[in-house]
Structures are given as structure tokens and as C-alpha cells.
Amino acid sequence: MQTQQTQPLRKILIVEDDLNMAATYAGFLREQGYNVRIETHGDKALLAVDVFFPDLIILDIILPGLDGFSVIETLRKQEDTKQIPILVVSNLVDKDKINMAVKLGAQDYITKPNLTMDYLNEKIKWLLKLH
């Protein structure tokens, strides 16, 4: 009898202060087979990274506590978190803000007005293949 090995669920940390939006992302991503955790504050997200060990982070920029830029900067300075892919999903559509997030170390940036769950799923699959 052959035993089938199953891959562990990929873990995604959602950092989003809009609980309805976070729940929408989480519900969809759980349906796709991901293990999901939600944090609503930037500083709490940093603590969650240390215990949840996500494979990918979906990060809003405007957050209570630390903003998304500070979260990116902090994660990129730490040896054990600097390689975690970060996908920024934000209402900020200013090119300077987008460029700043990428310069700090985000792999990609989606503006919320352009977001669909299928597009989010495509981006996540692409980013997880890179890491």
C-alpha cells in the first residue's frame, strides 16, 4: 500500500484593518487551500510573523500602529524575515507610494480598486513560486 504525502498548507498572513475586506480575502484563500491568519495592526503583524511563520504576507499600507511601510522596512532588516514575499494591497494609488513600497522590499503592489479575488490568487501563486 502506497502512502500519499500531502504538502503542508502554505501560510498567508493578511494585514488589513478593514475586517470585512480581511474576511473576504481570508475566506477566498481558505477555499484555495491556504492556512490564513489575519492581523489588523502593523505592530501586531510583526509579532504574528514570529509565531505564524507565513510563506507570504498580504499587507495594507494604512494601518493602526505601524504603517505598512514600517512593517516592510522592519521585516527586510531581519535575517529570518527578509525573504518572505510581501504583496501590498492598498487604496493608495500614488505612484510615489507604490515606488516607495517596492523600494523598501515589497515584491508587488495591487491597488484595491483593481483587485479581484482571481487576480489576487494569480499574484499569490506567482509570488509563492518565486520563493
The pLDDT tens digits of the residues spanning 51-83 come to: 999 999 999 999 999 999 999 999 999 999 999
Dihedrals phi, psi of 14, to nearest 5 degrees: -100, 120
pLDDT above 90 (res 2): no
71 lies in some domain = yes
pTM higher than the cut 0.75: yes
Per-residue pLDDT at 3 = 44
3 lies in some domain = no
85 lies in some domain = yes
Write the DSSP symbol of residue 9: P
Taking alpha carbons only, the member of 101, 83, 104 closest to residue 91 is 101
CB 13 within 8 A of CB 72: no
Q: What CATH number is associated with residue 50?
A: 3.40.50.2300
CB 61 within 8 A of CB 68: yes
Range of the domain at 77: 11-126
Number of domains composing the chain:
1
44 lies in some domain = yes
Cα 118 from chain centroid (whole Å): 16
Neighbours of 62 (CB within 10 A): 15
Cell of 42: 502593523
